[in-house]
Structure 1
Amino acid sequence: MPVSPPTAVIVDGYYNASSLPPVFARRGVRVVHVQSTPEPIQDWLPPDLDAYAEHIVHTDDESTVRRLAVHDPVCVIAGAEPGVPLADRLSELMGLPGNGSRLSEARRNKFTMMETLRAAGVRAVSQFKSPEVEPVLSWVAEHGTFPVVVKPLSSCNTDGVVICFTMDEVRRAAREVLATRDAFGLPNTEVLVQAYLDGDEYIVDTVSRDGQHFVSSVWKYEKTLVNGKNLYDKDILLAPEAAPVPELVAYVGTVLDALNIRHGAAHSEVKLTSAGPRLVETGARMSGGMHPDLHDVCLGQNQADLVAMAYTAPEAFLADHAGRSYTRRQPAMGYTVATDVAGIVRAIDAEAVRQINALPTVHRTVLNLAPGERIRPTVDLGTCTMRVYLTGPTDEAMLADYARVRDLKDRVYLV
């Protein structure tokens, strides 16, 4: 009697979760997709369902567990942020390695996340939430220090995040949040206000098994403040021995433990403030900026491969990676391209794209727009026009090519 190959379940395989089916396949593991919402999330890059043995649209936990049980899966993991709570519940109901449902809200709701850290003795930002604007203004008045940050409770990609320097700006930002939906299409029923965290911001990406963490990379953000919005520009791969990487790694370890992230990928964003590290947020899923083949070149590993290893070969993962950090093989950078152009894209200038890709340290260019789509002035990650990945022998070579890409970027889209 033929034996079926082992199966991994991916909940909401949007965006770069497309890297998960191939890495599981290389380990002889097929994948099943579960969509957590009745309809696909609009404006999100959908999964390639041809890569999956089955696609299940979730209706209720009991029926989804019943349909998954026939596959006898080895794991249920979140491919993207909206899938975290469902992946937590399904893995728990099926007795599979996972992070459990008890702290699911703390891994999605930014207010609950910080309060969970505080309760565990981990340093966290001061904050307040409310379904109304006036209590937010009262908290800011009592807090007494500008700037403050206004944001939705559970969105992503800097959606709705505004740095405010006056009460009028707080009022406008809070009203805007409460009047709109988050990046997942859900209404914002409450607004969050937090103290502004000074200092530089960093990414700490990890993969865990049985509460043992491996730091797969640490990157430094460089952003530009425009009209109260911190727009992404560069994220730069740091050497693991360079300050402040060890301090950030130690802090993030306490964050993961407090949030009970014991299994799988996590993407943490941390500010190194004048009072020490403070969490911006942690997602219990892979980094949205993780590009496997770039990471293989500059790191010799990538989060997707490590996730597959952690779930399918846990003994090997623990032996090779538990409690350790990455090695930087060569410098790398991600450039998130902003624009102030508005209109409809008529065409892509292939020659401009060719010139960008021909630069010595440019590894890959990902265009976010196609002919016929609207281009808007950049206000958040969702309105950036493209992403350029660079890696090379020296930081100087990369920065020179980054400057050349900046010269060429506005030629790419013909409006």
Structure 2
Amino acid sequence: MHSADPKPVAVVVDGYSAGNFYFAAFARLGADLVHVQSTPDLMTSMAPPNFADYLANVVGSDEQELVERLRAYSPVCVVAGQDGAVPMADRLGELLGVPSNGSAFSRARRDKYEMIETLRRAGVRCAQQFKSTDPAAVAAWAQEHDSYPVVVKPLSSAGSDGVRVCQNADEVLAAAENILASQNIFGLSNTEILVQSYLRGTEYIVDTVSCDGRHYTCGVWEYEKTLLPSGRNIYNRDILVDPDGELVPALTSYIDEVLKALDVRWGPAHAEVIVTEDGPTLVEIGTRLNGHLHADFHDRCLGHNQAGLTAEAYVHPERFLERYADRTYRKLQPAAVYDAPTALEGVVASVDQSVVDEIAGLDSVFSLGVKLKPGARITPTVDLMTSILRAHLTAERDEQLTADYERLAKLKDQVYRLA
């Protein structure tokens, strides 16, 4: 590109949380960003967009009006900053005529019931399931299915919000009623309940980036989780998997089928897959960045990060296809992400900086996020949202990583002094 050429512009819809990594990723390639805020007020359940990173913030939800305003920037792409933004990003990209997954399968990429049914129609291995607006009907399906446990969840949310593993019909009924009485993390009321067969096996994250229908597997992480008596899962660690061996190729091959069935041709995807006795089976997939993304951390342990790869796929597609298409990541060194759980309950009086400093000083701790501030309520962990710390850990040796994780696990509850 000649210096006189205008900078390429990318559009980010609702750039919350991990979506904030898009700025550095596109800026590194000489591109500017424009933000679309789809709601009049900012959502409070996620880290907000950093508006200083953007040329402009366009507020609105009318697609035609947004297209007219965005067309002036001649964007090269439209990406979703978080799960709930996927349908709008798909539609805007389609209307603007830029590389896009299009809107034909948007619902299947967002609605968890339609997602699995789309896989079933395509002949891709998937769970049994049922949905309804009636908790009693959901409980009746589980009883007829007669293979407990089953999983009950909202149709459209994220971050393990509202997900329950239920052992009998009474638990299914209670979980379904609780979902209907609550909002998801995007502030929308739940109107339908999904119940699925329970997938037995180890769960993995499979992160990909696609460019013109060809995919790169940029990370596979094993979930270490604990099932609570309440039926909710606590996700303790994501542990980076060595790509050598049979596991990662099997997961990659399966996810390629999933991406094809859901017509994912461009951009990032974050899939959760359980390897059952029948083989890899999808829990769910979102066409957005991994919520645990930390660009510098991923650069250290993988040599790249999902936001940077996504920017390259859109800004320099020929280069992306040459370097990454149909390939799999290399593991540069051991790594894990730890969402620290707690059994504490009360109000945070203060944060003990000496303990924070001790944790941050551990050799493996690449970054540490202290999630609660004085005055905040601390409650026993039931999901990702109620974990108390997030630490990204990486080291040259597995032994160092394990030792530092065990030390961190002992120190975590000392970070907060309760009133």
Per the TM superposition, whether the score is higher than 0.5 is yes
Is 2:8–2:315's contact at 8 Å kept on the other side of the alignment?
Answer: no
- 1:133 Cα offset (Å): 1.1
AA paired with 2:352?
A: D
In the alignment of these two chains, the number of paired residues is 415
**Comparing 241-250 and 163-172, the one that deviates more:** 241-250
2:45 and 2:102 map into 1 onto residues whose CA distance is 29
Whether contact under 8 Å (2:371, 2:388) holds in the other structure is yes
* Counterpart AA for 1:110: K
Deviation for aligned residue 1:117: 0.4
TM superposition shift of 1:161: 0.3
Match status 1:350 vs 2:353: yes
Aligned: 1:382 with 2:381: no
How many Å apart are 1:19 and its aligned residue?
0.8
Alignment of 1:320-399 (within 5 A): 320-399=323-402
State which of 292, 312, 326 in structure 2 corresponds to 1:289: 292
Partner of 1:219: 221
- What is the CA deviation profile of residues 232-273 of structure 1, one whole-angstrom value per residue up to 9, with x for unaligned ones? 101100111134111111100100111111000000000001
Aligned AA (1:50): A
**Structure 2: where are the runs of 5+ without partners?**
none
1:187 aligns with 2:184: no
SS where residue 344 of structure 2 aligns?
Answer: coil
The corresponding residue for 2:198 is 196
Give the C-alpha shift of residue 38 in structure 1. Answer: 2.3
Deviates more, 1:150-159 or 1:236-245: 236-245
8 Å contact from structure 2 (residues 45, 186) kept in 1: no
Report the residue type matching 1:264 in the other structure: G
2:123 maps to which residue?
A: 121
Q: Deviations over 1:267-287 (max 9, x none)?
A: 000000111111000000010
Determine if contact 1:10/1:76 at 8 Å carries over to the other structure: yes
* CA positional deviation for 1:72: 0.6
Measured after TM superposition, the shift of residue 193 of structure 1 is 0.4
- The AA in structure 1 aligned to 2:114 is T
Distance 2:310 2:373 in 1: 32
- Secondary structure of the structure 2 residue equivalent to 1:154: coil
- In structure 2, what residue type is equivalent to 1:347? S
- Cα deviation for residue 97 of structure 1 reads 0.3
Q: What's the offset of the Cα at 1:59?
A: 2.9
The one-letter code matched in structure 2 to 1:74 is V
Deviation of 1:127 (Å): 0.3
Q: Deviation per CA, 1:363-388: give whole Å up to 9, x if none.
A: 11111111222211111111111111
Q: Write the mapping of 1:9-408 to structure 2, written as runs, cut at 5 A.
A: 9-226=11-228, 227-408=230-411
For 1:366, the aligned partner's letter is G
* Deviation by residue 1:38-81 (Cα, 9 ceiling, x = unmatched): 22112211010000000011230111011101111111110111
Alpha-carbon offset, residue 2 of structure 1: 6.6
Give, in angstroms, the shift of residue 192 of structure 1: 0.4
The residue aligned with 1:410 is 413
Tell me the amino acid that sits aligned with residue 18 of structure 2: N
Unpaired runs of at least 5, structure 1: none
RMSD, matched Cα: 1.1
Q: Separation in 2 of the partners of 1:70 and 1:353?
A: 47
% same residue = 49
TM superposition shift of 1:82:
1.0
2:129–2:197 contact (8 Å) kept in structure 1:
yes
Take 1:53 and 1:2, find their aligned partners in 2: how far apart are those partners?
19
* Secondary structure at 2:244 match in 1: coil
Aligned counterparts of 1:87 and 1:129: Cα–Cα separation in 2: 26
Contact 1:36–1:82 (CA<8 Å) still a contact in 2? Answer: no
Taking structure 1 as the reference length, what is the TM-score of the superposition? 0.98
